[in-house]
Structure 1
Amino acid sequence: MIEAIVFDFGDVFINLDKPATFDGLKKLGATEWNHDLDQLNQQFEMGKISEDDFLSGIQKHCNNATIPEIKKTWNAILADFPLYRLEFLQMLSQKYRLFLLSNTDAIHIARFQKKVGETFYNDFYHCFEHVYFSFEVGMRKPNIEIYEHVLNNHSLEANKTLFVDDKLENTEAAKSIGMHVWNLQVGKEDVVDLFEKNIL
């Protein structure tokens, strides 16, 4: 019997345009998504470096494009958040304990809040018992410690908790500690299909 559901954010609730950011960075002079950029991203997602250090780090790969240009390009990944998903989540919150667990950074969350407006994002956050952003907790998926952190903080039993994420490496990590999982296939499935999966 599932009692709690832990959701990812990007491509589960908010749609992502993943090529948009790198296409934009290429226009600013970046030649490839390399190890250095990947490390910058991971460090920023775990709150290990400041926004200024992150943006100036990217700037070195972009022919010294301006910081506002880089920030706008970084946020190009954020697409729309369909209202029907929020309505589904509000319904679900009446039946289950809900949590949000997202690998994300301060720039994206600030942009999301501005993009959807105060009422929408408050309604969204209020569906969850707690919201976990990687940059705030200093950990990121698929590291086991972040799943255990959520479970332990709320006295959740892994075998009574469902984890929903679009990345296989993240759902496999959750499965390895006994959580039920749904590896949502972006473009083929939608989070509102949850009851059709026969996992609740």
Structure 2
Amino acid sequence: MGSGSSDIDVVVFDFGDVISRTPPPEDQKAMQEVAGVAPEDLWAAYWSERRAYDRGIEAVEFWRRVARRVGAEWSSATVHELWALDVGSWIHVREDSAHLLDRLSGDGVRLALLSNAPRDIAGALRHSPVMRPFEALFFSAELGRCKPEPEIYEHVLSELGTAAERTAFVDDREENVLAAQRFGIAAHRYADHAGLESFLDDHGLLGARERA
């Protein structure tokens, strides 16, 4: 549909690894140095507890669980530094994605965000200039649900007041894309910027104002 009107009313974007860049190695190295434990142990513990963090437990509890898994006794100052480094590592934005969001918004395309993210990152993003074009921001920690659980998609569709077949969804994880497709949502797995632009153009979302 690249040359015609759009069949989509709203585009729902994931944040991590779609709008944001993967946490850079220097941020991860800094966390490892602060943690003072074997990197493989730190990241195994971190990812084992991350789902609960994304679902809504507080940062102090998340880092307490990580510390218990790695056998560490971190001071409150150390936990604060780990927390600050972690939050910062997830909010490095892709310039091409930010430009595309401004372009879509300028063309009158409705935008929403659906991210598996803890409250700390959600709070930061609510004040981010890159989030300015979005009419709604949905975060797993605030909803008590994580993608790809079906209830989170139902909630987003209900809140946006849009039909599944007139909703587009962009995410980098296959399981999240497949879950959206089961609802009849036009979902795209993000791999690169060119592929994302092609998907949006196929649905008549690029240059919509010029074609109107």
Normalising by the smaller structure, the TM-score range is 0.7 to 0.9
1:77 to 56, 66, 89: 89
Tell me the residue number matched to 2:210. Answer: none
Return the alpha-carbon distance in structure 2 between the equivalents of residues 91 and 97 of structure 1.
11
1:14 paired with 2:20, answer: yes
Counterpart Cα distance in 1 of 2:63 and 2:113: 26
Query: Which consecutive unaligned segments of at least 5 residues does structure 2 have?
Result: 1-6, 204-212
Which residue is 1:28 aligned to? 36
Once residues 90 and 156 of structure 1 are traced to their aligned partners in structure 2, the CA distance between those partners, rounded to angstroms, is 22
Aligned-pair CA distance for 1:25 = 4.2
Q: Secondary structure at the match of 2:202?
A: coil
Partners of 1:160 and 1:43 in 2: CA distance: 32
**Matched length:** 187
CA distance, structure 1, for counterparts of residue 117 and residue 143 of structure 2: 11
Q: What is the root-mean-square deviation of aligned Cα atoms in Å?
A: 2.7
Larger radius of gyration: 2
Q: Does 1:90 align with 2:95?
A: no
CA shift, 1:62, in A, is 5.4
2:21–2:93 Cα contact (<8 Å) kept: yes
- Output the CA distance in 2 between the equivalents of 1:148 and 1:18: 33
TM-score, with structure 2 as normaliser: 0.75
TM-score when normalising by structure 1: 0.79
1:182 maps to which of 170, 184, 188: 188
Matches within 5 A, 1:41-190: 41-47=50-56, 49-60=57-68, 61=70, 63-65=72-74, 66-75=78-87, 77-78=89-90, 80-93=92-105, 94-110=107-123, 121=128, 123-185=129-191, 189-190=192-193
Select the structure with the greater relative contact order (CA < 8 A; seq sep ≥ 6).
2
Identity %: 28
Structure 1: give runs of 5+ residues left out of the alignment. none
Match of 1:196 among 183, 195, 198: 198
